[in-house]
Structure 1
Amino acid sequence: MVSRFHITEKVIPEMYQRVRAKVLELLKDLPHIVITTDIWTSDSSSQSNDFISLTAHGITATFEYKSYCLEVLPFDGSHTGINIASNLNKAFHDWNMQDRVRAIVSDNAANMSVAIKEIQETYNVVPVKCLAHSLQLVIKARLFKDDKVKEMITKARSIIGHFSHSTSSNKLLKEMQDTHNIANHVLIQDISTRWDSTLQALRRLLEQRVAVQACLPRITCKAELTTEEWIMMKKVVNILRYFEEATKSISKSTATLSDAIPLINSLRKLLENMRGSSPREEKNISQKLAESEEDDPLSTLSSNNSLKEEVEKYLRSPNIPRDADPLLFWHNDVLYPHLKNWRRSTSVSK
């Protein structure tokens, strides 16, 4: 039988070196690299452990998108910007990419901002804030900070928690579901730190509203939602579903930084429309995205005449479909050679 020592001290290190050598070769195909990084604390063991991750993204000469997870390493010391910058600097040199890093994507934490500012003194990199994280902060700062919304969610959690922990109430809920011809779905308990799980919890509770309300007079649940709070819940779900679709959109493998402006504009328009429109009048997010793109065409990129002509020709051409891969478009393109070269050098991953 192979010993644990042999596996941990010989087999795994040798495997790591082989994979590392292969990734180093693959990185040579990326003339421009974008880094995504994050720090988190894991509580999965008896003691908390801090980790830092580093992933490299880039586009090859043939416009193929590549992404390589380079490191997930223990992070020693406090989470200061200086310590983070030191780790990033070491990683850039270890992976021989210090001259090719063009941007660093991170969350909005203050220590990350300090770290990237430190890195900028050595490398000419552009800081990019994670759009998905920014959307999460918007939800937490505005929607979930509203006192009435907070009270409604607290009551909803209490009701869901009651059914989750009471066998008799759950049995009654199933009876009411059958009586009112409602799907036999269980209620979903959310995780308070994840807004998307709160959306799923409220969405399911709305689906089960009739069955739940039929149960409440016959059980000992301490919380009860008013008619106004049920209406508020529906409005919150309507708002959050747009953020959900936006998050899914920017999480696709084909998403790039160019998606940010039309996506933000589309969310703005949707939320403005919701203030005074009925659900029937609301447009879906894909329609809004198309409108935003038309409202915000690219500006001229250079005074160079040939490039300027290409840009004007490009702006007059029709948009590709929202679900199309932009890299595939540029891979096949023969109409815009100057723009193609510029695009290859400035493409930034989400």
Structure 2
Amino acid sequence: MKHLSPRYKLPSRRYFSDTALPELFERVSSHIHKLLDGTKSPVSFTTDIWTSNVSLMSMLSLTAQWLDDEFELHQVLLCCEECPGSHTADNLRAKFDKMLAEWKIDKKRVHVVLRDNARNMTKALDDGNLPSLPCMAHTLQLAVIEGLQSQRSITDAVATGRRIVTHFKHSSLAYSKLHAIQEELGQPKKRLQQDVPTRWNSTFYMLQSLLEQKCALGLYATEHELPAVLTTNQWGLIENLLSILEPFEELTKTISSSSATAAVVIPEITALKRLLGRAADTDRGVGTAKATLLEAVQRRFKDIEKNPLYAVATAMDPRYKTCYFSAEVKDEVKRVLLNMLDTVDTSASKPTPDQPSGEPAAKRASQLLSVHAEILKESASNEEERLLGSPSSVQLHRYLSELPIKRSEDETVNDVLKYWHENKTHYPALAPLAQAYLSAPCTSVDSERLFSLASNVIDEKRNRLSGEKAEMLLFVKKNLPLMVK
């Protein structure tokens, strides 16, 4: 700049910190306020608590998402405040009340808050009269850990694999020798994956990377020393274990999408339980783990069909409707829907002729997807009933009588939102329910990804950054793209 324009004075760090950042924060904040004020739709939230490992700072997040009248999904970060002191339920409840008051969001507009399974967070939201659901990914993590720890042979094989990966992680010379062997075998040069305790799927990827490099590791062990070696029996155990964990990994990817909704919980868990209940050739040596996984999934997700937040969301998703409910639960869900529709005035709304909905074609089948196809086929043959009466009940009958839209490997929530955008005039009584219940996420992934970003903002070289400045930086980083589409 001194060469290009000698008279230009470069702004100081203090200018950006005390002037530019607050001004930009206010502009973005005003834009978010306009978005929230411009809709009366119910709003869903995610929340999480993060503690920095380079400073004493803890932060509490609150992200919001809702569907507008055109069924377009809006996702924003509302707050990422410093949370000093003890994280008791009373302190957290006061924080949530303060956040909602700052954004002028009435509690009646709060559809649901996605949280982790911590007792203090659960109690805080219950005491604040805020409906909440646990993060599905966290619950799935607990179930998988139970399964992995149920067999000593599995824990031993995983521990041995971890020691092998650690050996290569700590030695660049060992990796160079392994890469040379991979090149001799005509394999691509790949590094082994290291697992972390807080993500079960990292263990899956670690075992997968070991199995891919089985031949290379065998040749390496004949010429060089390793801290541990997997036996033939352990290699077979790992292969079978990966087979039963593959549906869990597929499901984790599905629900970790920022656009995944609460509607997927009941269908995915139903398909997962059916898949785990089947005997397979790959069960040899891992039967106890598979049985424990099934028991853990059944126990941790036992009441999801009775939860209206899950049940109504599933029924309003045109991919699922009531196909995944048992006969008794199906009748109960329909009664709940009719009671909700009784409060909606549809006297001025008349159904329009059926409009074709787009059906994405499947590219390839997966284990979970094939089970979904079975369940939908069984339900279609049993869906023969009549609901006569009010216009809203007629709409509900017509909606449930239609075949669910086809599922595919690369489907997204956009297919669902497109369906409701095209059919909102066809089902005017059902559209408000879809708008509310399909706005709810099934995980707190949005808040967790925010704190992955926070660890890059508050690092070792910026460990004295104030909570106020950190919040403004994160708020602008997350929400600025909404203003510059």
TM over 0.5: yes
Give the 5 Å matches for 1:185-334. 185-273=190-278, 275-277=279-281, 284-293=367-376, 305-322=390-407, 323=411, 325-333=415-423, 334=425
Equivalent position of 2:440 in the other structure: 349
1:277, CA displacement in angstroms?
4.0
CA RMSD in angstroms comes to: 2.5
Whether 2:83 is the aligned partner of 1:75: answer: yes
SS in 1 for 2:126: helix
1: CA distance, partners of 2:90 / 2:270: 35
2: CA distance, partners of 1:3 / 1:107: 41
The one of 60, 69, 72 aligned to 1:64: 72
SS in 2 for 1:336: coil
Equivalent position of 2:119 in the other structure: 110
TM-score (norm 1): 0.89
Bigger drift between 80-89 and 288-297 goes to 288-297
1: CA distance, partners of 2:70 / 2:45: 20
C-alpha distance 299-212 of structure 1, shift in aligned 2 (>3 A): farther
2: CA distance, partners of 1:296 / 1:115: 40
C-alpha distance 227-299 of structure 1, shift in aligned 2 (>3 A): farther
Q: Give yes or no for contact 1:156–1:225 (8 Å, CA) kept in 2.
A: yes
Q: Which amino acid in structure 2 is aligned with residue 73 of structure 1?
A: E
Q: Which amino acid in structure 1 is aligned with residue 390 of structure 2?
A: N
Cα deviation digits, residues 198-233 of structure 1 (max 9, x gap): 221111110000110122132222211122211121
Bigger drift between 109-118 and 315-324 goes to 315-324
C-alpha distance 296-69 of structure 1, shift in aligned 2 (>3 A): farther
Q: Give yes or no for contact 1:188–1:201 (8 Å, CA) kept in 2.
A: yes
Q: Give yes or no for contact 2:43–2:436 (8 Å, CA) kept in 1.
A: no
Q: Give yes or no for contact 1:262–1:293 (8 Å, CA) kept in 2.
A: no
Unaligned runs of 5+ in 1: none
C-alpha distance 110-294 of structure 1, shift in aligned 2 (>3 A): farther
Q: How many residues are paired up?
A: 340
Bigger drift between 167-176 and 228-237 goes to 167-176
Equivalent position of 1:146 in the other structure: 151
Equivalent position of 2:52 in the other structure: 42
Q: Give yes or no for contact 1:30–1:59 (8 Å, CA) kept in 2.
A: no
The one of 161, 169, 172 aligned to 1:164: 169
The one of 427, 430, 435 aligned to 1:336: 427
2: CA distance, partners of 1:80 / 1:6: 37
Q: Give yes or no for contact 2:89–2:124 (8 Å, CA) kept in 1.
A: yes
Q: Which amino acid in structure 2 is aligned with residue 199 of structure 1?
A: F
Q: Which amino acid in structure 2 is aligned with residue 331 of structure 1?
A: H
C-alpha distance 232-30 of structure 1, shift in aligned 2 (>3 A): farther
C-alpha distance 168-16 of structure 1, shift in aligned 2 (>3 A): closer
Cα deviation digits, residues 241-283 of structure 1 (max 9, x gap): 212211221233442111110011111122223x43459xx95
1:149, CA displacement in angstroms?
1.8
Q: Which amino acid in structure 2 is aligned with residue 57 of structure 1?
A: Q
Whether 2:123 is the aligned partner of 1:33: answer: no
SS in 2 for 1:337: coil
Bigger drift between 239-248 and 176-185 goes to 176-185
Q: Which amino acid in structure 2 is aligned with residue 38 of structure 1?
A: D
Q: Give yes or no for contact 1:254–1:326 (8 Å, CA) kept in 2.
A: no
SS in 2 for 1:113: helix
1: CA distance, partners of 2:20 / 2:215: 59
Unaligned runs of 5+ in 2: 1-9, 284-364, 442-485
Q: Give yes or no for contact 1:256–1:349 (8 Å, CA) kept in 2.
A: yes
1:82, CA displacement in angstroms?
1.4
Q: Identify which of structures 1 and 2 has the higher relative contact order when contacts are C-alpha pairs closer than 8 Å and 6+ apart.
A: 2
1: CA distance, partners of 2:388 / 2:66: 28
| Structure 1 segments (4+ residues) deviating >6 Å | 296-300
TM-score (norm 2): 0.65
2: CA distance, partners of 1:269 / 1:340: 32
Q: Give yes or no for contact 2:43–2:64 (8 Å, CA) kept in 1.
A: yes
C-alpha distance 131-158 of structure 1, shift in aligned 2 (>3 A): same
